[in-house]
Amino acid sequence: MGGRRSAPAPRPAAAVAVWALLLALLSGCSGGGSAADGIVTLRFQSLAWQKESVAATKELVKEWNRTHPAVRVQYVQGSWDTVHDQLLTAFEGGEAPDVIHDATDDLADFAHGGDLADLRALLPAALKADIPARSWRTATFGAGVYGVPFLQEPRVLIANSRLLKASGVRIPTPERPWSWPEFREVTKKLTAKGRYGIGWPLREPVSLTLNLGLSAGGELFHRGADGTVRLAFDAGDAVVPETVHDQVNADRSAARTTLGMGGSDTLPGFFGGRYAMVPLGFSYRQQIVQQAPKGFEWTVLPAPAGSAGLDQGVSPQTLSIARDSAHKREAAEFIAFLLRPPNMVRLAEGDWMLPTGTGALKDPALRTARYGWATGAALARELRPAPAQSVRGYPEWKDKVATPAYQEYYSGAIGLDELRHRLVGEGNRVLVRYQR
């Protein structure tokens, strides 16, 4: 033990005081605007996250601020991973951003909870007319419209061009897509020693299965005349699950190991030639462009079609206005500016997604064959609201019933009858609780 120490010198106290001063100074640096000078300040929480989309969004905010001196927009970066919890707290505390970027499948709770403004009377006619009715349906809850759907992405097949050509299979187009049975045959042909025809990333199997299931007429969720929703598993609902199940367990043309993977996890195997095709969201093309080895040739193909053609469910990205916002009119004007067709094109290019607006979709930049833009643009008219996104109780059904049921079915642990029983029997018990 050391010798006796003297009483504490005043230095630590001084350090504490300096630190407290610094903290107070930094805490006082408010970024918020003031209404005292007559300038309205809107907070816009954006979920743009890729380099190009962040740049495009920030640039548009700058342009707005340059041309609208009386209404300043403050860009606030949000995150897809945490947006729901953050908004939930912000709404409860009355501190939500004025303009909110989210996706339609996350809006239902907030719309039903009265946290979002009904946009019908706020938006200009030109914007309303530019976005097709089927897209507006994705953000319509009850009688109100609670978000402007502006970006969406179909699921497409990304294929290794060399393997595809070498196999001699017919190359599908949006005009002549593969049928589901044809697709199954193709994946068999593409399968060879050390290579699978396809790698299905099915860590989150529910939305992929339901969204692609629309092509075969599968709806699973059926709304009655009284507005209540019931689950029913028809022949159309079985097409996609049976195809995947048989590819994995009977044909061995789909890799079993990818069943537990997310989309990004399959890319190394795709680049390495282990899977000839991977079904991914349209925006994954950006990762492929960035990460693919030099000389790797790839192409974008439409997902297979069923009795309903190329129909596919989507949950578009949206812009909403908080109900408590004191400047709803200004917020709506800003949204209308952000979603003018040329601006929508810039946002779509930045996110590698498709715009919902018909004007933006006509832009030549989104119709080039490069990186599969033309294929995606051709699919845009086939996109429908995801089957379950406005169904109350869907999140619980998805997590507790459907996810484990689909995972077990795809791995071969249970059969189709058991899958049907669990999705419908157990599922309806969940939904009933939400619809009493």
Kindly write out the interface string for residues 90-129 of this chain, putting x where it contacts other proteins by CB under 8 A and - elsewhere: x-xxxx-x-----x--------------------------
CA 221: distance to chain centroid? 20
- For CA atoms 302, 305, 311, 317, the dihedral sign is negative
Task: Identify which range of 79-87, 160-168, 245-253, 427-435 contacts other proteins by CB under 8 A.
Answer: 79-87
Residue 75 in the binding site for other proteins (CB under 8 A): yes
User: What is the gyration radius of the CA atoms in the chain, in angstroms?
Assistant: 25
| Rounded CA separation 331/176 (Å) | 43
State the DSSP H helix or E strand holding residue 221, giving kind and residue range, or none if neither. strand 221-223
Q: With respect to other proteins, which residue has the nearer C-beta, 77 or 228?
A: 77
- Rounded to whole angstroms, the Cα distance separating 408 from 385 reads 27
Which H or E run contains 398? none
38 belongs to the binding site for other proteins (CB under 8 A): no
Q: What's the distance, Cα to Cα, between the start and end of the chain in Å?
A: 72
Question: What is the length of the chain?
Answer: 436
What letter does residue 144 receive in the DSSP assignment? E
By CB under 8 A, is residue 29 in contact with other proteins? yes
- How far apart, in Å, are the Cα atoms of 419 and each of 268, 274, 424? 31, 29, 8
> Would you call 320 exposed, middle or buried from its count of C-beta atoms within 10 A (0-12, 13-18, 19+)?
buried
Q: Which of 9, 10, 11, 30 binds other proteins (CB under 8 A)?
A: 30
Which amino acid is located at 343 in the chain? Answer: N
5 binds other proteins (CB under 8 A): yes
Stretch that binds other proteins, among 34-42, 181-189, 250-258, 291-299 (CB under 8 A): 291-299
Residue 294, interface with other proteins (CB under 8 A)?
A: yes
Q: CB of 228: closest distance to other proteins in angstroms?
A: 30
When the beta carbons of 69 and 293 are compared against other proteins, the nearer one is 293
Closest contact distance (angstroms) between CB of 120 and other proteins is 27
- If the CB atoms of residues 52 and 246 are measured against other proteins, the closer one turns out to be 52
Task: Check: CB of residue 251 under 8 Å from CB of residue 183.
Answer: no
Residue 368 binds other proteins (CB under 8 A): no
Contacts of 276 (CB under 8 A, 6+ apart): 159, 160, 163, 164, 167, 187, 190, 191, 195, 196, 197, 198
247, 254 contact by CB (below 8 A): yes
Stretch near other proteins under the rule CB under 8 A, chosen from 3-11, 136-144, 214-222, 402-410 = 3-11
Among the listed residues 161, 173, 228, 290, the single contact to other proteins using CB under 8 A: 290
The interface with other proteins within residues 237-276 (CB under 8 A) comprises 262-264, 267-269, 271-272, 274
Q: List Cα–Cα distances, 186 to 47, 169, 199, 247, 251, in angstroms.
A: 38, 7, 13, 11, 11
Query: Which span (241-249, 281-289, 322-330, 364-372) binds other proteins, by CB under 8 A?
Result: 281-289
Nearer to other proteins by Cβ, of 105 and 130: the residue is: 105
Q: Tell me the C-alpha distance between 357 and 57, whole Å.
A: 17
CB neighbour list of residue 79: distance below 8 Å, 6 or more residues apart: 47, 49
Region binding other proteins by CB under 8 A among candidate stretches 21-29, 133-141, 214-222, 355-363: 21-29
Residues 308, 361: Cα–Cα separation, whole Å: 23
Smaller CB separation from other proteins, 352 or 373: 352
Specify the DSSP element, H or E, that contains 57: helix 51-67
For other proteins, which is the closer residue by CB, 93 or 364? 93
The nearer residue to other proteins, 174 or 355, going by C-beta atoms, is 355
- 183, 212 Cβ separation under 8 angstroms: no
Q: Considering CB under 8 A, how many residues would be counted as binding other proteins?
A: 64
For other proteins, the closer of residues 90 and 232 by Cβ is 90
- Binding segment for other proteins among 82-90, 190-198, 232-240, 363-371 (CB under 8 A)? 82-90
Least distance from C-beta 225 to other proteins, angstroms?
A: 35
| Half-sphere exposure in the Cβ direction for 7 (13 Å, CA) | 2
Site mask, other proteins, residues 190-229, x = CB under 8 A? Answer: -------------xx-------------------------
Q: Residues in the site for other proteins, rule: CB under 8 A?
A: 1-2, 4-8, 16, 19-20, 22-24, 26-32, 43, 47, 49-51, 54, 74-77, 79-82, 85-86, 89-90, 92-95, 97, 103, 203-204, 262-264, 267-269, 271-272, 274, 281, 283-284, 287, 290-294
